[in-house]
Structure 1
């Protein structure tokens, strides 16, 4: 996958915080799986499948039965999945 340019992870974290309704100057460090799914535009069962199969390298952690994601990991995941096109580059 070809990325268009390096992303400012801090800007992505602020954008995610705003999207979730948090103050970007004082965002939470972690969000639950429902909030992570909202940010990524998928359903929570999709995240559960990704966790169990290891389909994507999206770090998460568990606190008891609760699943949590770091906002910084979500930002890095989105940056790494951003592409300029799906085809091969021709010379």
Structure 2
């Protein structure tokens, strides 16, 4: 069994929704469409790595062009 890194902060769906200024329902829809930041279900709860959410947001700006 691999050791689980503990330094990485994990975020719940409502925390990520707040960061993205979306509702949790809107974020769940994005997850279903495959357009949300990477996530995993851990003990039945959807979790996001804080670093991956940050990287995903940064990638959205890089791909949006000069005027978004």
Structure 2 residues without counterparts, runs of 5 or longer: 1-6
Q: Aligned pair count?
A: 59
More strand by share: 2
Q: Whose relative contact order is higher, 1 or 2, with alpha carbons under 8 Å and at least 6 apart?
A: 1
Deviation track 1:44-74 (CA, whole Å, cap 9, x = no partner) reads 00111111121x1520010132111111111
Structure 1 residues without counterparts, runs of 5 or longer: 1-26, 87-91
RMSD (CA atoms):
1.8
The structure with the largest alpha-carbon Rg is 1
- Work out the CA distance in 2 between the residues paired with 1:59 and 1:28: 14
Is the CA contact 2:27–2:36 (under 8 Å) kept in the aligned structure 1? no
Structure 1 moving runs of 4+ over 4 Å: none
